[in-house]
A and B are shown apart, each in its own frame.
Chain A
């Protein structure tokens, strides 16, 4: 009876861990689907290519090769070491010890040795990243964007990875039946312990490791680390058109068309409810998915001409604010069954007019983002709402609009002088 006890506990914990994880992922999925519909399923071949290049291949990371290499180690290490989880979970459920060692025969050591080398490399890189984040004063990491929770979040993840990797190595080191490439270097430190103590160390490390993994898995959806999952759909749905294009607004296109050619207007033409976005739910689901995918790395803000000249705007903060807002809305809906106004909106309460006005639409943020996020798209949707719904534009812009309307140019020149230059050649 006693022998089954750990298996039962393990099974329950596994169920709980996966249950909670799936529940949270579903919540995030619903939150993303609060966004407006947008059609992004054309050209599947090109989209899959992007998944391989951008997400799997991390192509854009290689704009900085050294960091890209280090990041690749963590990333590959993370994915491959997780294969070992299959064995750990099977052992836990069946009460076995290294269940795959028999069927894999000689290959078993090869596998574990590979995992160990990766675990070791991941540990080293995590330490380097911790140093880079906290000791070297790199602008995008000291930025005020990360004040509070986000900075802690980033450090937690790195520390958690180091602990998990160390537990994995310790577990192997305490297992006297096996000799693996890295853990065998740790084993000597454990000499002098009795077989019982070693067994205890091994078992504890085993339990702490797998429980740590479960905790990490459930922490992920609350963290910037969600990008390890969402980077994939994000690459799939990445825009396939030139970055210069702002998406069309057919409702307004038709309104102008009907004003110019009334004979074309259908009698039942419905006016759209609103233009642009003042609330997160008025953005597209793609915008919202991007907000959840953002790794808060700040490459966008480093390249942003506004951020780098001290303006209030920071594209990273645009993404973080959008995620905060849609999370709040989603929680509100869960609690109240429907959204009960909290007197706030994305525009104004989370993102200010001053920030929006500083953008030059230069696309530097879009170009730099390793996971194909467009902060610019959100900025433009908010600007549309600001100008068209709230008539909130600086005086000079209002002047520019009326010049375009009356003189067909953004400046106040006589339209008749448009070709005046031809008389001087």
Chain B
């Protein structure tokens, strides 16, 4: 499978249907790379003409902005918008809710106007339009799963249904945690917390959330954000070494269920 960069496409005078914004976690973090690969595979199988920015992509600036460093954010935004506008990008899909929020809601004020969707929305579209077909005998059928709402997808952008619809299309049993959708509990990573030690308290936030996930006694935990994924994986491991409930991104689940 060949993943084309925007530079390569532009050199051939082509425009992609959609730009896949990979994000820093998706590019560098070992666990998140698996999500990236799964999603790229789906795009490939669905016959979508997509491109990535490759080495020309930079951090959107989200963690800097949320930590309070507006300068750093504006610098990253400037660079990214220059590149995106230079390639005349119209449509972007991303596997990271933080990138999604920044590109969709914060870049327009800075001159970056794109139609941005999250990969769970894109997957919902691909399934609905028949561009990808869920295998009748997929390995998830009948298994139970609980979905953790990412704050930046959920409350920040009110996307609650797309990821759930995708899971339901697999004939899985969707179990909700005590706190879900608009009441969903944060995994603890947002607001640049991912990049520092947690402040002192009597419990870690990811442990608290992991407990709620474990309580559902589901076979799997689904996430739609690379940071939530890491936090919940660690949280579950901390609770119980032998716990084999794995935290999977929705893209990874779908990739295993299609032809």
Contacts and interface: CB of A to CB of B under 8 A. Distances in A.
Interface of A: 63, 241-246, 248-249, 252-253, 255-257, 260, 275-276, 303, 305-306, 308-313, 354, 357-364, 366-367, 380, 383-388, 393-394, 396-397, 399-401, 404-405, 408-411, 413, 415-422, 424-425
Contact of B74 (A256, A360, A405): A256
Given A361-B191, A410-B24, A244 B156 contact: yes
Contacts of B22: 418, 421
B224 to A, nearest CB: 15
B127 interface: no
B52 A422 contact: yes
- Determine the interface band of chain B, counting residues with CB < 8 A from chain A: 35 or more
A303 B178 CA distance: 12
Contacts, number: 208
B68 A380 contact: yes
5 contacts: A245-B101, A306-B205, A394-B196, A408-B57, A421-B33
B6 to A, nearest CB: 11
A417 B29 CA distance: 11
Contact of B27 (A244, A255, A419): A419
A41 B205 CA distance: 38
A404 B65 contact: no
Interface in B62-121: 63-72, 74-76, 78-79, 101, 105-106, 109-110
B101 A418 contact: no
B195 A396 contact: yes
A309 B205 contact: yes
B69 A388 contact: yes
A360 B27 contact: no
Contact of B199 (A303, A313, A400): A313
Contact of B55 (A383, A415, A424): A415
Contacts of B197: 394, 396
Interface in B30-80: 33, 36-37, 40-41, 52, 54-55, 57-59, 61, 63-72, 74-76, 78-79
B3 interface: yes
Contacts of A400: 63-64, 67, 192, 195-196
A393 B66 CA distance: 12
Give chain A's interface secondary structure class.
Answer: helix
Interface string B194-212: 1111111111110010000
Given A405-B72, A419-B55, A421-B36, A246 B188 contact: no
Interface of B: 1, 3, 5, 22, 24, 27-29, 33, 36-37, 40-41, 52, 54-55, 57-59, 61, 63-72, 74-76, 78-79, 101, 105-106, 109-110, 151-152, 155-158, 182-183, 185-186, 188-205, 208
Contact of B190 (A309, A311, A360, A421): A360
A311 B78 CA distance: 35
Given A383-B68, A387-B69, A400-B67, A310 B106 contact: no
A276 B66 CA distance: 12
Given A242-B158, A380-B68, 14 more contacts: A244-B156, A256-B71, A305-B185, A305-B208, A354-B200, A400-B63, A401-B72, A408-B58, A408-B59, A408-B79, A409-B59, A417-B27, A421-B27, A425-B37
B217 to A, nearest CB: 23
Given A306-B199, A309-B201, A419 B52 contact: yes
Given A246-B65, A388-B69, A419-B5, A397 B195 contact: yes
A303 B101 CA distance: 22
Which 3 A-B residue pairings sit nearest by Cβ, starting from the closest? A244-B156, A310-B202, A387-B68
Contact of B68 (A257, A276, A310, A408): A276
Nearest to A387: B68
Nearest to B106: A245
A246 B205 contact: no
